[in-house]
Structure 1
Amino acid sequence: MCNLYTSTTAQIAMRQLFTGLSDRAGNLGPDTFYPDQIAPIIRHDGAGLELVKARWGMPSPAFALKTQRDPGVTNVRNLSSPHWRRWLVPAHRCLVPVTAFAEPIKGGNKWFQAADPDRPMFFAGIETRGWRSLRKVKDGETEDDLFAFLTCPPNSVVEPFHPKAMPVILTEPDEWQTWLHAPFEEARALQRPLEDAKLIGI
C-alpha cells in the first residue's frame, strides 16, 4: 500500500488551479512524505478552499487498536465502514497534492508519476481537525489536523508491483470539483483506478 509520496507542485501553481484558494501553509518546497508526517492538503475553510498542512494518518477504528497508541490510517478503502462514513461528506473531503508515489517491492520501492509531467495530480483524501490522540508515546497526547487518502484496485501499470491496491488519483478539474463538492453518491464513483495511459512507472 502506498506509504510514500512526493509533491513538487509550487504553491503559486495551486493558487492558479483553484480560484480564491487561501494559502495558509507557510513556505512549501518540494518534499517527500512518509506516514505521520506533516504534508500539504487542500480543504474547505467555510468560505471556500484553503491550502494548509496536516498530519498524514486518520484515526484508526477502535477494533484495530491494541493499545492507547494510534499510529493512524494512511489509506482508506472500505467506504461502507461506519468508521469512515462520518468523514465522507463534502466538508471533510480534501485533495492531497502528489507528483509521484511509491509502492513497496522487494528490496525497495517502485515509483509512479503522471505520463504528462505538466499534468497536476491529487490524491482523493478525507480529513478531520483537532483530533486528540496518542500518536507517539514520547510526545504524549496531541491535537492534530489529520488526513488520509482513498485507495482502489490497481490499474495495469501498478498491478505487477502491487496487485491489491493503488491510490485514488484525480487529474482533471471536474474530478477535483466533484470530489470536493458533490453528494457522496456521485463522488464515490471516483474511487477507481487512474487510466493506464495517464501513469508511468519510473
Structure 2
Amino acid sequence: MCNLYKYSSTQDAMRRLFPGISDKAGNLALGSIYPDQLAPIIRHGNSGLELIKARWGMPSPPFVLKTKRDPGVTNVRNLSSPHWRRWLGRANRCLVPLTSFAEPRGKGQGNQWFAAGDGAQLFFAGIELRGWRSVRKVKDGETKDDLFAFLTCPPNREVAAVHPKAMPVILSTEAEWSAWLEGAPATELQRPLPDGALKKIDSEL
C-alpha cells in the first residue's frame, strides 16, 4: 500500500491550476512525504479553495486501537464503513498533489516508484478533517491537527505487476478534480488510472 510519495512542484503551479486559490501553506519543503508528516492539500475554505498543510493520517477506527495512541490511517478503501462515511461528503473532500508515489516490491526489495506517463499533474482523491485531537506520538501528548488521507482502489496494470492488491485513487484531469471537490459520489471516482497512464521511474526523480 502506498505509504510514501513525493511532491516536487511549486506553489505557483498550484495557483496557476486553481486561479484565486488562497495560499495558506507557508513555505513548502518539497520531496518525500511519509505518514504522519505535514503535506500540502487543496481543500474548501470559507471563501473558496485554499492550499494548506495537513498531517497525513486520518483517525483510526476505535476497534483497531490497543492504546490511547493513534498513529492514523493513510489509505481508505472501505467506503461503506460508518467510520469513513461521515467524512466522504463535499465538506471533507480535498486534493493531495503528488509528483510520484511508491509501492513496495516485497520484503527486502525496496520500492517501485510511479509517475504520470504524460507528465500531467496528479492528485490523490483525499479526505480531510480539521482540528482533530488525539495522541499521535506519546512524547508529544495530545495534539490538535488538521488531517488527511486518500482513497485506494484495485490497481491498474502497471501497479498490479508490483503490488496486486491496491493502488491510490489518482485524479489526472480538471474534470475529475472538480467532480471530486464538488462531491460526486466517491464510489464513482474510486477507480484505477487507465492501463498505460503510469510509468516506472527511479526513486531519485
Q: TM-score range by the shorter chain?
A: over 0.9
Gaps of 5+ in 2: none
The amino acid across from 1:188 in the alignment is T
Task: Give the equivalent residue in structure 1 for 2:21.
Answer: 21
Equivalent residue runs for 1:30-41 within 5 Å: 30-41=30-41
Task: Give the equivalent residue in structure 2 for 1:112.
Answer: 114
Displacement of 1:182 after TM fit?
3.0
Displacement of 1:53 after TM fit?
0.2
Distance 1:137 1:65 in 2: 14
Task: Give the equivalent residue in structure 2 for 1:46.
Answer: 46
Count of aligned pairs: 199
Displacement of 1:87 after TM fit?
0.6
Distance 1:167 1:65 in 2: 24
Q: Could you tell me the TM-score, scaled by structure 1's length?
A: 0.96
Equivalent residue runs for 1:25-174 within 5 Å: 25-106=25-106, 107-117=109-119, 119-174=120-175
Displacement of 1:29 after TM fit?
4.0
Identity of aligned residues (%): 68
Gaps of 5+ in 1: none
Task: Give the equivalent residue in structure 1 for 2:177.
Answer: 176
The amino acid across from 2:147 in the alignment is L
Contact 1:10/1:29 (CA < 8 Å) preserved in 2?
no
Check if 1:189 corresponds to 2:188. yes
Please give the secondary structure, in 2, of the residue aligned with 1:189: helix
Please give the secondary structure, in 1, of the residue aligned with 2:96: strand
Please give the secondary structure, in 1, of the residue aligned with 2:3: coil
Q: 1:188 to 1:19 in 2, by over 3 A?
A: farther
Distance 1:71 1:28 in 2: 23
Contact 1:92/1:128 (CA < 8 Å) preserved in 2?
yes
The 4+ residue runs of structure 1 with deviation greater than 2 A are none
